[in-house]
Structure 1
Amino acid sequence: MSDSFYLKPDTFCPIVLMGRGGKSICKSFLEAVFSDQIIVNKRLDRHLTSKEEIEKLLNLAKQENRPVLFDISSHLGAELTELAELINPKIIIITNIDSNHKIYNGKRIPYFELIREFLNSIKSDSILVLNKDDDLISSLTEGMRPMQLVKFGLNIRSDFFAAQIQQLGPQGISFKLNDSVSMTVPIYQFYQIYGILAALVVCRIFNIKLKTISERIEESFTVPRGKGNLVRIGNISIINDTHTNNEQSVTHAAQTLITFKNYSNRMIMVIDEMDMDTQDKKSLHLSMGHFLAALPIDVIITVGKHARYITDGIRIIPNDERIILNTDDVTEAVMNLLLIIEANDCILLKSGRNSGLTQFIKILAEKYKP
């Protein structure tokens, strides 16, 4: 990285974080590394943050010579241009776009075009941190005014790339940064590595040494609660993935559970009804059952009427050793789980944020209380 990119951590520097995934991991990583040196705003949402609040944070950061990070929601629409002019960021991080449009409350948002408008509205010389593996993001800068670009990803042509990646179950994920520096980070879902790489770029822009980064991550970094964080209670591991429950997130979570196979007695998955835009709930859940049937999961507990179709899909591959339970609600699911749990089991809790499934963690913690 060029020396011209280096900033001091005690520098006023507005940073904007955009994208459809990986933002929470990126924020948590930066908070752990920068500690009290960085001001991190909640997600910028039309219902949460006013122009006055943004200006207040900018003024505070300027007075105290601190970086300030704004997480911008993807559904703000035309307000993005106004935010670009107000914040005038020095660093813009775009984790991914994934699709040309985003569905939000049943409406299609032309997110790709809005990001381009946002970038074109920025007046200052900015550093643009991009995910090289996302095809849409790679084409984002075509026809735009020149910016300093730093690209991250798994592609070895990225400025920052992860190589020799290993998923180590409860130990997290290890990789070699630019195929030279070994790092182990307590994340458990493979795709979260993109949020880590994005954060590493920012840390290096501020000239924070990799040794310092590793030490601070070991001391204080954790995956945000409900977004695939690991909870250890006694000798039982719980993957708490109770934030979103769409088809893609269920697939990622199930694949994560499998990485604990060599470190656990049994792998148990508790899955609530999936979030869906389609009216064909039966086909969606059947299809997920077909996918899960091929995975070496020992116990599967479904929650809710539509989730029962998951078990119908699982039974397409006979497995006499696998335990499958259908439950009507979370309370019944938790009671069954408490009855069958054994030492050294690894449990994946998979649901949306309002399911109440995390009550299992509280009950188990009380049971194993010293």
Structure 2
Amino acid sequence: MKAFSISEIRKIINGELLLGSDNLVIDYIPYYKNIRRKKRNVLIFIRRKFEFDLNYIKSRLPCAIVIDHSFGPLKSIEGLTVIRVANVKSALWKFIEYYRQLFSIPVVAVTGTCGKTTTKEMIAHILREKKNVRYTVNSNNSRLAHLHYLIGIDEHTDAAVFETAVGMPGDVRNACRYFKPTIGIITNIGACHLNACKTIDAYIKAKGEMAAGLEDDGVLILNADDEKTKSISLENFKGKIVYFGIKNRADFRATGIEYRDGGMRFVLQSNNGSMPIFIPGYGEHQVANALAALAAVNEIGIDLKQAAERLKTFKNLGRHLEIASGYNGATIIDDTWNFNTTSLEAGMKVLNHVAGKKHRIALFTDMTSLGDYSLQLHKQAGEIVKKYGADTIITLGNRAQEMANYAIELGLKCKTYSFTDYGQVYTLLKELLNDNSTILIKSFGNNTSMIELAANLKK
């Protein structure tokens, strides 16, 4: 964070000094009690009375607090600076907006049902070759982390790339208010977080907040192949739109897609001509991620040939269709990062390619956070499984069992096993797995039991 004196901060937020020194220098602002970095010289915005914790404040001395109420005797605390404002929440946003406008740098915001973490990582990987980049760590993209990432930008930062997730309507809009992105990306829109968004239309609208979050001179990068993305209203968007895709006409289009050892090869078609690209990681979805990343860095001014060379050294993310040799010589495809119908289709395609003529095993848990659409979407998942096929299906959970049963109803010929206990699954897999089998493991991201099971099989 760029450092400020209390005197400078008071001018930004229109605050009155009640206690302490105007000369205290601040170099970090925690999102009160949520980001627990053991730092001192911090500025704490106490937005609600119940957040006031005297012991927490004492542990950060010397520090400063911003208040708009009386919180009892503070004068006796040595090293404490107190600033009073009319409204703490308004003061925080004044500081956020002031801080962001200090830096005229490209800022990329990435959202989407699938692929946002990989696309963000690809962009950061390309930019890091020559630039100092601030970016989201893994997929730690919660609304509580926005301030932490924003103040990580300083005078040495050349560019920033942030992942903006949708847990509920308003999340992307809120993230854009923090980051004020110059480039926005929507990788695709499937169906997820419907327990909060309630309907698929509301979920699409929540993803579409990216368009409203860009300034008039912003760049919006969209998936030309994604049907739900096409329903986003762009009526009031005045910036530039760049499309990427495989099937449909696009500014950045992939042709001649081939599976190669360790990754995908394709030919990039763009206004800059044709160019061969190799990207580590299997699947057409990985090609789409690369197209979105290349479109973004091109807008930033990175030469596409240099970007393509850099992509060759990209390391595919763990648990994102991670392929490993595992138990008894079996091939393990660990896709325990996320589970929805969009990622399922990508996973089934990869299973078919990697397995070839070997025995194909698919292990599924329930999909989560689908609200009233749970049964409908598990049936859609069954349709996907039927479309791409499997020789053995193993399920954990009632909805996963319904998904498998529906695939069988549609005509899929395979063996099925349904369990409620992870130990039973592990016992069965020790019987089934050998060097003539390939298993796809699909589960939602915080399913620690499935993550552990996949890790054990990979060993």
TM range, normalised to the smaller chain?
Answer: 0.7 to 0.9
Inter-partner Cα distance in structure 1 for 2:282 and 2:333: 9
Offset from partner CA, 1:200-246 (integer Å, 9 cap, x none): 11222344344433443332321x33332222348532111113334
Shift in alpha-carbon separation, 1:121–1:31, aligned structure 2, 3 A:
closer
Shift in alpha-carbon separation, 1:81–1:229, aligned structure 2, 3 A:
same
Tell me what 1:185 maps to.
279
Offset from partner CA, 1:36-63 (integer Å, 9 cap, x none): 73211255433x2254x244123x2xx1
Shift of 1:136: 5.6
Inter-partner Cα distance in structure 1 for 2:394 and 2:208: 44
SS at match of 2:393: strand
Inter-partner Cα distance in structure 2 for 1:287 and 1:87: 36
TM value normalised by structure 2:
0.63
Question: Do 1:102 and 1:110's aligned partners in 2 also have CA atoms closer than 8 Å?
Answer: no
Tell me what 2:349 maps to.
255
Offset from partner CA, 1:263-299 (integer Å, 9 cap, x none): x632221222343534885x87677556545645233
Superposed counterparts of 1:1-370, under 5 Å = 12-35=105-128, 37-42=132-137, 43-46=140-143, 48-51=144-147, 53-58=148-153, 60=154, 63-75=155-167, 77-78=169-170, 80-81=172-173, 83-97=175-189, 103-105=194-196, 107-108=198-199, 110=202, 113=205, 119-120=211-212, 122-123=214-215, 125-134=217-226, 137-138=229-230, 140=232, 142-144=234-236, 146-155=238-247, 157-167=249-259, 171-178=262-269, 180-222=274-316, 224-233=317-326, 235-262=329-356, 265-275=358-368, 276-278=370-372, 292=385, 295-310=388-403, 312-313=405-406, 316=409, 317=411, 319=413, 322-353=414-445, 354=447, 356-366=449-459
Shift of 1:259: 1.8
Question: Do 1:175 and 1:183's aligned partners in 2 also have CA atoms closer than 8 Å?
Answer: yes
Shift in alpha-carbon separation, 1:57–1:214, aligned structure 2, 3 A:
same
What is the identity percentage for the equivalent residue pairs of Structure 1 and Structure 2? 22
Inter-partner Cα distance in structure 1 for 2:341 and 2:145: 31
Inter-partner Cα distance in structure 1 for 2:161 and 2:256: 31
SS at match of 2:243: strand
SS at match of 2:449: coil
Inter-partner Cα distance in structure 2 for 1:270 and 1:70: 32
Shift of 1:94: 2.3
Shift of 1:140: 5.0
Structure with more contact order per residue of length (Cα contacts < 8 Å, sep ≥ 6): 1
Inter-partner Cα distance in structure 2 for 1:124 and 1:153: 24
Residue type at the aligned position of 2:134: I
Structure 2 regions of 5+ residues with no counterpart? 1-103
SS at match of 1:243: coil
Offset from partner CA, 1:296-317 (integer Å, 9 cap, x none): 5233222245544455445554
SS at match of 1:69: strand
Question: Do 2:379 and 2:402's aligned partners in 1 also have CA atoms closer than 8 Å?
Answer: yes
Shift in alpha-carbon separation, 1:189–1:104, aligned structure 2, 3 A:
farther
Question: Do 1:132 and 1:153's aligned partners in 2 also have CA atoms closer than 8 Å?
Answer: yes
Offset from partner CA, 1:79-131 (integer Å, 9 cap, x none): 655544443322222223458x9724363474555666664464462222222
Question: Do 1:16 and 1:92's aligned partners in 2 also have CA atoms closer than 8 Å?
Answer: yes
Inter-partner Cα distance in structure 2 for 1:327 and 1:301: 8
Inter-partner Cα distance in structure 2 for 1:138 and 1:287: 20
Inter-partner Cα distance in structure 1 for 2:304 and 2:386: 42
SS at match of 2:339: coil
Q: Quick check: which has more Rg, 1 or 2?
A: 2
Question: Do 1:75 and 1:104's aligned partners in 2 also have CA atoms closer than 8 Å?
Answer: no
Inter-partner Cα distance in structure 1 for 2:323 and 2:448: 18
* CA RMSD, Structure 1 to Structure 2 (Å): 3.6
Question: Do 2:194 and 2:373's aligned partners in 1 also have CA atoms closer than 8 Å?
Answer: no
Structure 1 regions of 5+ residues with no counterpart? 1-10
How many residue pairs get aligned? The number is 344
TM value normalised by structure 1:
0.76
